[in-house]
Amino acid sequence: MSYKAGFLGLIGQPNAGKSTLMNFLVDEKVSIVSSKPQTTRRRILGIWSTEKGQVIFVDAPGLIKADEGLNGFLAQEAHDVINSSDALLAIIAVDEEKPENAEKVIDLVSKSGKPWIAVITKTDIEEKAHRVMILRKMVEDKGGKAFSVSVKDSKNDQEEREALLIEFMELLPESPAPLYDTELFTNENVREMAAEIVREQCFEALHHEIPYSIAVRIVKFEEDAKPVPKIYAEIVVSKDSHKAIVIGKGASVIKQIGMEARKEIEKLMGEKIFLDLNVASKPEWFSNKRMMKELGYVVDSKD
């Protein structure tokens, strides 16, 4: 059998389970997960390599409609992933409230002209189990093949994981060699992943709209500091009034964010670290192209 390698884009509505699925398939925590929709911002790659091929998963932000600001960036990212991937996975969750949303994803992917497979996620949610058949039929009506998976139930099922990976690899083009070093499981560096982990913990600790308007920037990353590496991160809020909320009474909220993020970053780095968090207010940063660029959300290559 020839060697296959390429980019496989994960396309779905916000909260469909794309990041969770990618982390499960790559068997590493690559992309952040939260119970709130629209957590994924930048395109994140998860890489799986075997001697037969290399699947590079591209976790795109969920599909949304917007032209400007951060949401405009997210919408553009999702469409760029469709255009630039070699093959696509349509990710549809059994708990998707509106059938037309599932239809839209299947439509978009099937019309892309690229090889594709649908993955029906969250099949462990019993009261929605009947929807698996309905979604499968929707996929088959568009000429596609559907797999169903529950990451909750399959966490320890390596056979199921490998079977899915082999199916997905078949969608990819032949390639003379791997596209990334076969030791890598992501394109993100530790610095970027640390910032994403702090952002994930903000989603955990904060409610309402605040986490959506937060960005996290690593100000200093002293990998060789003694006795442990030191990471200085800044949580950027978009309104002065959010600062006090992120800090919390007696600094309780920021302490919680820091403690949980530190544990996750330590897991990632395999060693103890020191994490320092600061909160800075940059009013309406997401409406300002220069600030968005500074925070890692590149809007336009022309500026």
Ligand X SMILES: Nc1nc2c(ncn2[C@@H]2O[C@H](COP(=O)(O)OP(=O)(O)OP(=O)(O)O)[C@@H](O)[C@H]2O)c(=O)[nH]1
For residue 121, give both structure tokens. 């996620």
For residue 131, give both structure tokens. 């929807």
For the bound state, the minimum distance from the C-beta of residue 9 to ligand X, rounded and expressed in Å, comes to: 13
Among 124, 157, 260, 294, binds ligand X (CB under 6 A): 124
Dist CA 54 CA 10 (whole Å): 16
Among 35, 156, 189, 301, binds ligand X (CB under 6 A): 35
| Residues 2-31 close enough to bind ligand X by CB under 6 A | 12, 14-20
Dist CA 227 CA 208 (whole Å): 38
Dist CA 277 CA 202 (whole Å): 12
| Site size with ligand X, rule: CB under 6 A | 24
295 binds ligand X (CB under 6 A): no
139-158 footprint of ligand X as x/- string (CB under 6 A): -----------xxx------
Contact (CB, 8 A) for 247 and 281? no
34 binds ligand X (CB under 6 A): yes
199 binds ligand X (CB under 6 A): no
SS3 content of the chain, % helix, strand, coil (to 5): 40, 20, 35
Among 5, 9, 29, 38, binds ligand X (CB under 6 A): 38
Beta bridge partner(s), residue 117 = 89
For the bound state, the minimum distance from the C-beta of residue 155 to ligand X, rounded and expressed in Å, comes to: 9
For residue 153, give both structure tokens. 């139930």
C-alpha Rg value of the chain to the nearest Å? 20
Calculate helix-pair angle for 18-26, 158-169, nearest 10 degrees. Answer: 100
Q: Which stretch binds ligand X (CB under 6 A): 117-125, 228-236, 244-252, 267-275?
A: 117-125
Where on the chain is the footprint of ligand X (CB under 6 A)? 12, 14-20, 33-35, 37-40, 61-62, 121-122, 124-125, 150-152
User: Can you say which residues are annotated as belonging to the binding site for GTP?
Assistant: 12-19, 121-124
